[in-house]
Amino acid sequence: MKSYLCNLAVVALSFRFAVASDDPPAAAIEKLVREALRQKRPVTNYAKPIVSTSEVAVGIHKAVATGVCGRGSIGQEPFRAVRSGGFWVVYGDLPKGFYGGVPITVIRASDGKVMWVTISGQ
């Protein structure tokens, strides 16, 4: 029964953060960061890689490339995600008539770590 109540409390707190319109307290966020930094091993799903599909790889690429290059500078869809061993290489194309480069992201499939971001043509 005690275990059930503990689990219920965790679910209730998680639900409060998920539906609350206000931000969670800074102390709670800092505690989560400290706990994450104490982890000895990366999060891994041993049954399959965390980035198991091209759609997931493209989503990571869009987020990272937008952060690096800014919105509108990440290339034109459709983005291509090519699996090479344990990694995804993701890139887009320049719109017709444009010159320059587009971001290319290399993502480790097992845990989603971004290994490298570069701009094509550089």
Torsion sign (Cα): 20, 26, 30, 33: positive
Is pLDDT of 93 > 60?
yes
The answer to whether residues 26 and 59 belong to one domain is no
Spatial distance between the Cα atoms of 63 and 11, rounded to a whole number of angstroms: 29
When the pLDDT of each residue in the chain is averaged and rounded to a whole number, the result is: 78
The answer to whether residues 59 and 112 belong to one domain is yes
Higher-scoring residue by pLDDT: 58, 41? 58
Spatial distance between the Cα atoms of 102 and 70, rounded to a whole number of angstroms: 11
The answer to whether residues 59 and 115 belong to one domain is yes
Spatial distance between the Cα atoms of 107 and 88, rounded to a whole number of angstroms: 5
The answer to whether residues 84 and 112 belong to one domain is yes
Nearest CA to 91 out of 100, 99, 101 is that of: 101
- The domain total for the chain is 2
Q: Domain span at residue 84?
A: 54-119
Model-level pTM? 0.67
